[in-house]
Structure 1
């Protein structure tokens, strides 16, 4: 075909050298994108060039990034997130309730505010949405990544992560609550002038099997002046409860609902 003549290939490579994207060159020359990609790959091999995908990883490039968004995303990751990092497959996943479209949007936005370049998409399963961002550099941003479940290994923040959490503690708490927490209404009864009446009160719960992650949560609450208590399961610490009226009101003001 005419568009596959050596002159067309040479023109395509020249346009690519000028910085045009594969898609743009394909459209300009009426050549399939796959063919453009193949020509580029063959040219790199001919020149002995090893291809490295462009990255905007803040730790690798020194690029300033949104610390507030990172504090929130760190909370989401420690709660309901994990990283896949193996040959030809690298991504960060945050799992959300599929009905909580606001949370899904917030997770997507946080990923893009920390690293705008990687693609972000949501994969829906029955009752669940998996928000995914594709780049191997999420392991740089979350050095807590490792084999196995998070509650089976030590989870400690790096000094630079702790500095961000100390600067944006409410965003970190919000991420943890939005992942592994909830706001519920408890009730009890009490005698009022000899009559037993129902009494309702709101409280926050944070539930995580990892002792380290619970301590990160409670340590941040301590710095914020929030009173909390342990609720046990089978005699073991498992839930963190915040029930004092003033503390619940303060968390309401900073965390907001999962929706």
Structure 2
């Protein structure tokens, strides 16, 4: 199993996951043209996509969904409430490309198993995904106001995480956003901060080599260096030293990460 965080941030999100038989996108939050450019950078062909897994209906996760699905004839998987919330925002999707992937469900595509799980976000029915193959595990979790014990149960022990590290609380509090938006981000249906993300990570990491991709960083209320430093310091306070078994990686709103094996 291999993956690349194609883009991550408040302007658009997409994660690519493949094995030798299948290839999936988690969300298409950028234009079709930009998605084609990102695929070229990781030397992959969008014509070979097996499906698109939708997490929720916010525009930074579905901006290019309809265009990509129609152009490349790619099946879309989403739960019923998310399908309803997306209608009118992604154009007409042919019936043969519309599939349901309900909450807390497991779907198998050959040797690749994909588990969905609920998160806490201000969307219709938001959920993220864990990928399993031959004892290896990749967990993708962003867009949640907190990480519950149930979420931790789903992602615990992954070999690689795409994990939200959205904001620095101090930057957010002192920043230009109106209080209503700050309150939404800080709420249980908003986004997790660097420190809260690290505390949650400390409770799901096993004593083995683990790769963590810090994701969905706010353009206005975070910085890569700050997120990495904050997460590393908080992990250290929990007894986990970044750079030994656990390795932290940046993601970017414009550039994909290298395609790496889980």
Higher RCO, 1 or 2 (CA under 8 Å, sep at least 6)?
Answer: 2
- The alignment's TM-score, normalised by the length of structure 1, stands at 0.30
- The alignment's TM-score, normalised by the length of structure 2, stands at 0.29
Please identify which structure carries the higher helix content: 1
